[in-house]
């Protein structure tokens, strides 16, 4: 084979690779749009009246995740099944965002931490890498850390809305989450850096709880039976 023939073959391979990446990019753009719609919907819980409509907002978000599952099915067909990590960078960010949104919905519904398996089911993908397109552990953890930041914000806005019991429950949840992360030996630099930010979320929530304590509102919250979820 001549040099020109060799490079012609290489160009053909590069062209195929570029075509795959372009197809992936189109689906990822659609996923990003759906994620923005879900986020916009859930942001309403931070406003005063939004606390009264949490179940309805969660139900609507669940409906949007139906679209996510359809888009994920499309994404799975755009690249060879054995080359997940070769193209992983293209959908990593939006997948982490979707993990956060799914975990936020589950928290608002039950005030519990969603499992990786449950998130994978919500998104219509696998939990185990051996079964194909899956939810990487680090993507799951990154999404959960974003949830912590969102709950820190929710704790502040709960007080503004007159819900004094919610920050206490959020504080308990975040402290348990922090304890869980302390059990991990994180070596991924990006994930480690994001975990380092968790301490600021913990501190922010502790300040809210302390302020409630100083004002005597924590006793009012406890006497109220835990408040509305």
- Is 206 annotated to bind ligand? no
For the CA atoms of the chain, what is the radius of gyration?
A: 21
Q: How far apart are CA 140 and CA 208, in angstroms?
A: 27
Helices 116-123 and 137-160 meet at what angle, rounded to 10? 90
Q: How far apart are CA 1 and CA 160, in angstroms?
A: 73
Q: How far apart are CA 10 and CA 15, in angstroms?
A: 9
Q: How far apart are CA 142 and CA 81, in angstroms?
A: 24
**How many of the other CB atoms lie within 10 Å of CB of 134?**
16
102 in helix, strand or coil? helix
Residues contributing to the annotated binding site for Mg(2+):
150
Residues contributing to the annotated binding site:
150
């Amino acid at each position: 084979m001549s040099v020109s023939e060799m490079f012609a073959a290489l160009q053909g391979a590069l062209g195929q690779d570029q075509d795959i990446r372009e197809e992936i990019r189109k689906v990822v753009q659609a996923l990003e749009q759906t994620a923005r719609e879900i986020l916009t919907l859930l942001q309403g819980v931070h406003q005063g009246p939004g606390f009264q409509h949490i179940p309805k907002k969660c139900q609507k978000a669940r409906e949007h995740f139906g679209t996510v599952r359809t888009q994920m099915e499309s994404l799975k067909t755009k690249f060879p099944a054995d080359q997940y990590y070769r193209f992983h960078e293209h959908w990593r960010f939006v997948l982490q965002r979707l993990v956060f949104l799914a975990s936020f919905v589950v928290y608002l519904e039950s005030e519990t931490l969603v499992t990786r398996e449950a998130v994978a089911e919500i998104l219509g993908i696998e939990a185990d890498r051996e079964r194909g397109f899956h939810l990487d552990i680090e993507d799951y953890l990154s999404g959960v850390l974003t949830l912590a930041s969102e709950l820190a914000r929710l704790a502040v806005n709960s007080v503004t809305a007159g819900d004094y019991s919610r920050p206490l429950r959020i504080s308990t949840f975040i402290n348990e989450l922090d304890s869980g992360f302390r059990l991990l030996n994180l070596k991924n630099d990006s994930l480690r850096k994001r975990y380092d930010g968790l301490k600021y979320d913990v501190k922010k929530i502790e300040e809210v709880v302390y302020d409630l304590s100083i004002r005597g509102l924590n006793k009012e919250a406890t006497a109220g039976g835990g408040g509305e979820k």
